[in-house]
Amino acid sequence: STIENGNFEWSAPSNIALVKYWGKKDNQIPANPSVSFTLNNCKTITKLGFEKRATSTPLSVTNGFSFDLLFEGKPKEDFKPKIQKFLERVEAYLPFLKDYHFTIDTQNTFPHSSGIASSASGMAALAMNFMSLERELNPEMTDAYFYQKASFLARLGSGSACRSVKGNVVVWGNQANIEGSTDLFGVEFPYTIHENFKNYQDTILLVDKGEKQVSSTVGHDLMHNHPYAERRFAQAHENLDKLIAIFKNGNIDEFIKVVESEALTLHAMMMTSMPYFILMKPNTLQIINAIWKFRNETQIPVCFTLDAGANVHVLYPENVSEKVLQFIQDELVVFCQNSQYICDKIGSGAIAL
């Protein structure tokens, strides 16, 4: 490699799954396909500085890799093992990694330890930066290759991160009737999406900012020998099928049924694994019940989904925004930690800065 030094900077958004990824095989291959909305405002912004190392540099310290890590401008030692692991997993695909010393300078647009997972946006932003360096060394690569490989690398960092490279709706995992879908990287939903989903809103209610009691790595592993695993994986294919039709016909009532059932099924898998666990909090249930009551009384098509945590994502079409935000302020904010919530919406993926 001939490039001596320089830097790149990328932002990558978080994403929220509609059909959930929960359970995996070796090498971050998902047990079932998933689909997500890419978000717009919740992002990680990462600058990658790189500098050619002298050939005499001892390669002993961190298994041959050399990097410094800054989080919000300050050295962050406790994130380094995650990055180290990522570099080890992607080295086979980025053979130049040991030729450089890297400075990884990263920050999130959402509050620190808000309970919003930063692994998807963080790993996606890092993967984009490394692809920029690969393109520098290999200028003839196509844009399609650039984005596919970025998603492939992000997947090796954190599975759901492969859905944060592109927008607005991304499918990850092989599904027979979705052209181009693959277990190896996320692809943009390849068919036209009904305008009812244009600018779809996601208001994230921060119920509990505490550290997760169970990491997603442990959670995925508990799907091995899980009594309902096989049926669940089949169900994910069925629900993705339903969403293909729904994205085409714009039926929001059907959308709500699939999305809420997926959220509760994710948590049902956690409650029925061994060991079993519960990530929802009392206020999570208060919010779900309030959403159901509001929807029944007003017929306004608002629904919820959940990640592997207690926070609630409130999803609704743009044309009911005003009424739903009023409802959130009047009835749901009381269930949020320090009254905190984040207004987000569907977005278009990673951006070079």
Give me the residues that bind ligand PMV (CB under 6 A), please: 17, 20-22, 34, 119, 158-160, 216, 220, 266, 307-308
Residue 87 vs 324, nearer CB to ligand PMV: 87
Long-range contacts of 217-223 (CB under 8 A, 24+ apart): 219/22, 219/270, 219/273, 219/308, 220/22, 220/23, 220/24, 220/159, 222/269, 222/270, 222/273, 222/274, 222/275, 223/22, 223/23, 223/24, 223/31, 223/269, 223/273
Q: How far is the CB of 18 from ligand PMV (least distance, A)?
A: 9
Identity of the residue, 135 or 267, whose beta carbon is nearer to ligand PMV in the bound complex: 267
- Least gap, CB of 182 to ligand PMV (angstroms): 16
Pick between residue 158 and residue 311 the one whose CB is nearest to ligand PMV. Answer: 158
The answer to whether the bond into 168 is cis (omega within 30° of 0) is: yes
CB of 222 to ligand PMV, least distance (A): 12
Beta bridge partners of 209: none
Residue type, 126: L
Query: C-beta of 246: minimal distance to ligand PMV in Å?
Result: 18
Residue 1 vs 215, nearer CB to ligand PMV: 215
Distance of closest approach, residue 5 Cβ to ligand PMV, in angstroms: 32
105 or 307, CB closer to ligand PMV? Answer: 307
Query: b or e along 223-257 (b: 16 or more beta carbons within 10 Å of the residue's beta carbon)?
Result: beebeebeebbebbbebbbbbbebbeeeebeebbe
For the bound state, the minimum distance from the C-beta of residue 97 to ligand PMV, rounded and expressed in Å, comes to 22
160/311 with CB nearer ligand PMV = 160
